[in-house]
Amino acid sequence: MYTRLERNDECWCGSGKKYKSCHAAFDDKIIKFESQGIKVPDRSLFKTAEDIEGIKKSAVINMAVLDEVGDKIRAGMSTQDIDDIVNDVTTKMGGIPADLNYEGFPKSVCTSINEEVCHGIPSKDIILKDGDIINVDCSTILNGYFSDSSRMFCIGDVSPEKKRLVDVTKECLEEGLKAVKPWTPIGDMGHAVHQHALKNGYTVVREIGGHGCGNAFHEEPFVSFVSKPGTGMLMVPGMVFTIEPMVNMGTNEIFIDEDNDWTVYTADLKPSAQWEVELLVTETGYELLCW
Ligand code: MF3
Ligand code: CO
């Protein structure tokens, strides 16, 4: 249950102002939605101006890393070479690769090729070849603030079918962004993503999704991209979360590599693509923090 403070208390946001002249009306609005049966965020999910500055600084590194990967990536390179770039650029800029040792993940970045949906583990034995599509999913910690984004790269001459999957997946993310409107439920956003994928003959992974992010790697809410309109947590200004749909050319079914317990594949071994951004919900829509 979302609770109010006493009117003369100091506001919870850290402004130093009295509650009644700060976030009292904001809280009233949230409580009104909650009373209508809509799931609302906990106050701890609202980022302060300082948090947002911190996340943006972390994102500067994350985006520089992905830019550098984009400049260097080519056929003949191993996914370990990508991991090396991520580690070098991140640490030289003063950051920490968030993936490294996260729940035992052994590398600094996820590299997922073709039928790999996500959580591919870089290796010197995995060599990029002409026609591959690869997702590079990178996350950075700077001064305790987390940034998270991923991009697709096409290696050399990619088939029109795979190129279309990559492009439509980006459009799915853009459709999701258009649906990020404050004081609406996040299920509307996920629905918009899903519909665009279905319209193009693709499916969307159900089990893995986006997440709140910023003061920790994975915060509430879990962000589904197969959600029904009118469901899920209310999007409230100050929340930060990722949009990162995994779009499959064939079935939405997936399985996890039994040898490493990480890498996720499509059940039919048809290609999958993913793009990820991290955003802040604002009073007018959203602001991209990391892409
Ligand atoms: N970066 C992924 C995400 O978007 C999480 C990867 S966790 C790891 O949420 F351990 F696999 F690196
Ligand atoms: Co993420």
- Residues 6+ away with beta carbon under 8 Å from 206: 224, 226, 252
Tokens linked to 256: 């996890």
| Model pLDDT, residue 155 | 98
**Cis bond before residue 221 (omega within 30° of 0):** yes
Indicate if ligand 1 lies below 6 Å from the C-beta of 132.
no
Give the per-residue pLDDT at 98.
98
Cα of 29 to ligand 2 centre, how many Å?
29
Ligand with an atom nearest the CA of residue 98: 1
Task: Tell the residue number behind the tokens 């009373």, with chain if given.
Answer: 35
Domain 43-290 fold is Creatine Amidinohydrolase (3.90.230)
pLDDT of residue 158: 98
In Å, how far are 114, 153, 209, 277, 287 from 47, measured between CA atoms? Answer: 36, 32, 21, 17, 13
Low-confidence ranges of the chain (pLDDT < 70): none
Q: What is the pLDDT of residue 282?
A: 98
Helices 49-72 and 79-92: angle between axes, nearest 10 degrees: 140
Structure tokens at 57: 């600084």
Return the domain boundaries, the chain.
43-290
SS3 call for 68: helix
pLDDT digits (tens, 9 = 90+) for 97-118: 999 999 999 999 999 999 999 9
pTM above 0.95, yes or no: yes
Atom of ligand 1 nearest to the CA of 217: 9
Give the other-Cβ count within 10 Å of 280's Cβ.
21
DSSP 3-state assignment of 172?
helix
**Each residue's pLDDT tens digit, 229-282:** 999 999 999 999 999 999 999 999 999 999 999 999 999 999 999 999 999 999
Q: What is the pLDDT, as a whole number, of residue 92?
A: 98
Cα 109 to ligand 1 centre (Å):
8
Contact indicator for 291, 277 with CB cutoff of 8 Å: yes
pLDDT at 71: 98
